[in-house]
Structure 1
Amino acid sequence: MPENIFPLDSSKKFTEQEKLGHNRWHPEIPPVATVKPGDSFRVDCREWFDGAIKNDDSAQDILDAPLLTVHTLSGPFAVEGAKPGDLLIVDILDVGPIPQEEGPLAGQGWGYTGIFATRNGGGFLTEQFPDAYKAIWDFSGQVATSRHVPGVSYTGLIHPGLMGTAPSAALLAKWNQREGALIATDPDRVPPLALPPEAEHAILGGLDRGEWGRVGGEAARTAPPRENGGNQDIKNLSKGTRVFYPVFVDGANLSLGDLHFSQGDGEITFCGAIEMGGFVDLRVDLIKGGMDTYGVSENAIFIPGNVDPQYSEWIAFSGTSVTLGGEQRYLDSHLSYQRACLHAIDYLTKFGYAPEQAYLLLGSAPIEGRLSGVVDIPNSCSTVYIPTAIFDFDVRPSAAGPYQIDPGMGAPKASA
């Protein structure tokens, strides 16, 4: 096993650990450890809410989830010799739940998926699903099952939802300017258009505490993906993946977290993956001057591993750029993927699932989302593919009609 350079004690909160991580992006957050090109090492990761979500049959914790505190990131890790303009190579050697532990923390043999209430961030389909729900998933090896979404089991494609390098001061200022300008167009919107810096709940690693107020007032929230990678929620960044990140500061200052046992393309409920804590084994290297050499200045590129679940049969649903009210939009791929997901949800309800159970399934199962047509004006066509083998029954249309499942207790809903 590689040396664990960021161990976490499951009996302690994230802020009480021997090494303190962070939950904001800022170039002044100092590294917690330094590694050399070619080094392999292990990093423990806490799930993104640091234990706030419980393994129970209530969704009140999802409704009250402390979004101002996320994400609980491990790092930063400096890479010796890394300079702005380089490409940082990150190989994901292994990734999994908290090893050989059972307990109250997500990752100790279980994980969770949530539908966020609109007032607490919402989700991809928040207009149709404005309330908070939760599903708990139990792990057996690589397979997840849920008492809240019966009739399905699937193999997890385990991955870190969030990984990235530190921004430079100039890049951070660019983020704050453009996101602030977006917020200003509708400052009272619920959910908000973007998340501005917020100092009170900022965790800034080993930075001198006297600087936390100033830096927290500048530091970027970790919710969105940006030029440094960040919260991309790409389900294929799993074991065997090689990622190339642009370097903006000396040392690169790599951070990661937000581990997922499984996730569908889009993580459509926002807390749509099966969230968990666990570990990641990494190896790092550098391509000197690689940003210019390969034209990688504002994005990460990656070569996915080959550990995807082996599903060969699918049932797929399409959607176009027409609103539920019948309004035509021009090549709106965001809308067409929403409509494809809603068609899939409507279909699954014919088998006995409640709409929120179907929505939770689409967020966490290894579905594939595709832009199938983006040139045929006025309609973009998006599709969502669901592997048929995840169901305990035949989900295909037939003359006999849909099989009727027992929906069980259903997904817990929070009281408003």
Structure 2
Amino acid sequence: MGALAGHTIHKDHIHHGWNNAFQPCLQIAPGETIEFQTVDASSGQLTRESTAADLERLDLARVNPVTGPVHIDGAEPGDALKVTVLSLRPSGWGWTGNIPGFGLLTDQFPHARLHHWNYDPGLAPAMYGPGGRVPLRPFTGTIGVAPAAPGLHSIIPPRNVGGNMDARDIAAGTELYLPIEVPGALFSVGDTHAAQGDGEVCGTAIESPIDVVLQFELVKGARLRMPRYVVPGPVTNHFDRKGYEVTTGIGPDLMQGARVAVSEMVELLASRYGYDPLDAYMLCSVCADLRISSIVDVPNWVVSYYFPRVVLE
């Protein structure tokens, strides 16, 4: 894998949701490394042969499976778990879907659509429709530890102990710090992506099984309130080479601004490049970045949406 792991957790050790009563499948000491085999975000409900009809039948209680949990010796509430992403090995297949009722523009795009990506695990661009070439940069979409609150908690919303953050820069070389709320931390990871734009606007990225090697250390008494991470270098090199098309949404509501900026980009891609609007929306989700450009000029804020021209040229 490019990084040797002291342990391997196979993909049959998955769970759905967070629960601090889940029994760990492995116990390690700080400093050790683990290779996690992950399952795609559908938990295997979708395969290379699946269609949009399968997406409509998706059991949402089984989405975003995570591999684990792992007990880290000596981890106590108030400590932080330092997780270093050593390497990721993509599988060569993934999918992007528009799931009815899910996504930033679900009211505009209510119908299911499923796109399969077959890509070079050596990280050549993946193809999308006529002329779209998306540079790949794999990362972990869901990565976190168990919350202190008892019972089963949905895996869908992110939370202060991490989880489904979909932060595309938690990639190879990144150091992630997670607040620990229960003894042993009970760490799990999954929902791996081959590529994603900041915002993941249609609700899915290139959802792809990826084997991940992570190293674990403890920071005693860190008292973190929220996750933090350190990236090892530039984060947009894979998209920067040809510049960007940028649309904006301006007004008093950031969420509405985001919706407008994305809608404007969908319209641009459809009118200039001939994409079906739903295909354009899904393509945006895997490669375009939402940014808050201005949040101080009362009463209106500016949300910008950056689409990398390298995808289309």
Aligned with residue 290 of structure 2, among 340, 365, 369: 369
> Computing the radius of gyration over CA atoms, which structure comes out larger, 1 or 2?
1
What amino acid is aligned across from residue 3 of structure 1 in structure 2? G
Matches within 5 A, 1:240-319: 240-271=173-204, 273-291=205-223, 296-297=224-225, 299-306=226-233, 308=235, 309-310=237-238, 311-312=240-241, 313-319=243-249
Equivalent residue runs for 1:8-407 within 5 Å: 8=11, 17=12, 20-56=13-49, 58-97=51-90, 107=91, 109-118=92-101, 122-140=102-120, 141-146=122-127, 149-169=129-149, 172=150, 218-271=151-204, 273-291=205-223, 296-297=224-225, 299-306=226-233, 308=235, 309-310=237-238, 311-312=240-241, 313-321=243-251, 331-350=252-271, 351-365=273-287, 367-392=288-313
For the residues of structure 2 that align with 1:281 and 1:361, how far apart are their CA atoms?
A: 28
Which whole-Å CA distance do the structure 2 matches of 1:4 and 1:80 have between them?
15
Alpha-carbon shift at residue 376 of structure 1 (Å) = 2.1
Number of paired residues? 305
Q: TM-score, normalised by structure 2?
A: 0.93
1:104-159 superposed Cα distances (whole Å, 9 cap, x missing partner): xxx3x2110001112xxx2110111111111111112213433x522111221110
Structure 2 Cα separation of the partners of residues 237 and 154 of structure 1: 19
- The runs of 5 or more residues in structure 1 that have no matched partner are 9-16, 98-106, 173-217, 322-330, 393-416
The one-letter code sitting in structure 1 at the alignment partner of 2:10 is: P
Mapped partners of 1:157, 1:358: distance in 2: 20
Please give the alpha-carbon distance, in whole angstroms, between the structure 2 residues aligned to 1:307 and 1:280.
21
Task: State the match for 1:195 in structure 2.
Answer: none
Question: For the Cα contact (< 8 Å) 2:126–2:135, is it kept in 1?
Answer: no
Distance in 2 between residues matched to 1:40 and 1:4, nearest whole Å: 6
TM-score (normalizing by structure 1): 0.71
Cα distance in 2, alignment partners of residues 332 and 110 from structure 1 = 37
Identity of aligned residues (%): 30
| C-alpha distance in 2 between matches for 1:29 and 1:317 | 45
Q: Which amino acid aligns with 1:320?
A: I
Q: Which structure: greater strand fraction? A: 2
